[in-house]
A and B are shown apart, each in its own frame.
Chain A
């Protein structure tokens, strides 16, 4: 939140929990914190799973025509029907994680712990926790539980508000 010292601030509503969508909020929040901003993340709906102790992040080529993986010197997309075959989504997720490792991209777990370390405030949506039957025991320590009003208060005091 903005304060008297002129410190800038940013908030992000995190609504998605797949491997690819997990990155933007973590990259932006850790970088903003490193640049001296106060950062708050509000995790709701599928974004909430990013706060689980051991999230098994996956992605799917289903309905994602832009997902083209580098292959044999070119880039290859995957037809939608492929996603129905057992193991294809898991394979695509493993391939993405492997590619990230090779290219020096941080793992999600690493970015999340860097975010916590740099005091990024993480708020889990109470309603989503009730809806999907999660308890604080399922979540990593160091987070807060809150609702829409908690987020709106933060947003009114933030210089940057994003929805991802």
Chain B
């Protein structure tokens, strides 16, 4: 179970990334954020976001047309 969930379903690029960043900022280091999105571009984008920012992408799955990402906030 992630510490917090962000529903970004129905939002298109770059909103899922922007909202994820906004959600992560006040979270304590090490806590986890689950992001739900329907934008297929989010798969590559969250990987790139994670590599660039250091917020680790610890889980990733897809259920129907909903993509799920879990990010761990960096220290």
Interface membership of B75, Cβ < 8 A: no
Are B52 and A35 touching (Cβ within 8 A)?
A: yes
Interface of B is mostly: helix
Interface of A is mostly: loop
Are A27 and B14 touching (Cβ within 8 A)?
A: yes
Are A34 and B15 touching (Cβ within 8 A)?
A: no
Are A34 and B12 touching (Cβ within 8 A)?
A: no
Are A104 and B21 touching (Cβ within 8 A)?
A: no
Are A30 and B18 touching (Cβ within 8 A)?
A: yes
| Minimal Cβ-Cβ distance residue in B for A100 | B12
Interface membership of B27, Cβ < 8 A: no
Interface membership of A145, Cβ < 8 A: no
CB distance from A158 to the nearest CB of B (A): 16
Interface membership of A88, Cβ < 8 A: no
CB distance from A13 to the nearest CB of B (A): 20
Number of interface residues of B (CB under 8 A): 16
Interface membership of B67, Cβ < 8 A: no
CB distance from A137 to the nearest CB of B (A): 29
Interface membership of A75, Cβ < 8 A: no
Interface membership of B58, Cβ < 8 A: no
What separation, in Å, do the CA atoms of A103 and B10 have in the docked complex?
7
- The listed residue (B12, B13, B14, B53) touching A36 by CB distance below 8 A is B53
Q: Which of B12, B17, B18 counts the most A-chain CB atoms under 10 A from its CB?
A: B18
What separation, in Å, do the CA atoms of A104 and B8 have in the docked complex?
10
6 additional contacts (CB under 8 A) given A31-B18, A34-B17, A105-B13? A34-B18, A36-B53, A104-B39, A106-B14, A106-B15, A114-B18
Interface residues of B (CB under 8 A from A): 10-15, 17-18, 20-22, 39, 48-49, 52-53
